[in-house]
Amino acid sequence: MVSTTQSELDPKLAVYDQVLAARKPWAQVVKKGQTLRIVDLGGNQAVDFLVYNADDPSERYSAPDTIRMQGNIFITTGTKLYSNDGNALMTVVKDTCGKHDTSGGACSCESNSVRFGLDKKWQHACVENFLYALKDYGMGKRDMTSNINFFMNVPVSKDGTLEIVDGISDPGSIVDLYAEMNALVVISNCPQMNNPCNAYNPTPIQLLIWDAL
């Protein structure tokens, strides 16, 4: 569907290469010029993603500005992840899945209680992961904003109807993100079991970082 616009990155040359277990949080500064790769090892695994200017985290990913700048609600190859200050934080330089969501937000204990049942508020959720990761950087709830959901399929109809449906991400799907500035990336490997965003089976993902070419 979409193809890479740069030569293939060799995993053997990555300066970082780790598997992130299912349901876990992750945060790392990806330096300007580095490339971060997220691999959907099992297929149809939602990866909730936030990114900040590492040198001034009050500058952060803005979903509305990003979709407005490209005139399209889906994240794919070529999408620039814009900040609330109008700067590109990262650029999607490769995407083998086809499209990613930035309208559905992160699952939370609180929204789970509304969506799926009051007793569901005790289940683990992405907002918990985000808060857990952010606290190590002295950040908290005020720093959270609308996020990207890589590998999550949320079609939106002309009249605004939307729903999280079966994913379109095959095992091994890849998205590569080039850091346009020093970028603090925060990830939640989504634990949601109440809708199809993880195919009812949260699975590990792989994260790799390469230095500037």
Q: Which residues contact 75 (CB under 8 A, 6 or more apart)?
A: 66, 81, 92, 95, 99, 100, 101, 102, 148, 150
* Residue 26: strand pairing partners: 187
Contact in structure between 134 and 143 (CB atoms under 8 Å): yes
Residues listed for the chain: 213
**Phi first, then psi: what are they for 158, rounded to 5°?**
-60, -35
Nearer to other proteins by Cβ, of 35 and 62: the residue is 62
CB of 68 to other proteins, least distance (A): 6
Minimum distance of other proteins from residue 32's CB (angstroms): 22
Closest CA to 18 of 5, 4, 28, 8: 28
Nearest distance, CB of residue 161 and other proteins, angstroms: 6
Query: Based on CB atoms, which residue is closest to other proteins, 41 or 109?
Result: 109
Question: Whose Cβ is closer to other proteins: residue 44's or residue 102's?
Answer: 102
Residue number with CB closer to other proteins (16 or 116) = 116
Which residues make up the interface to other proteins (CB under 8 A)? 58, 62-65, 67-68, 71-74, 84, 86, 99, 103-106, 108-115, 117-118, 121, 127, 141-147, 155-164
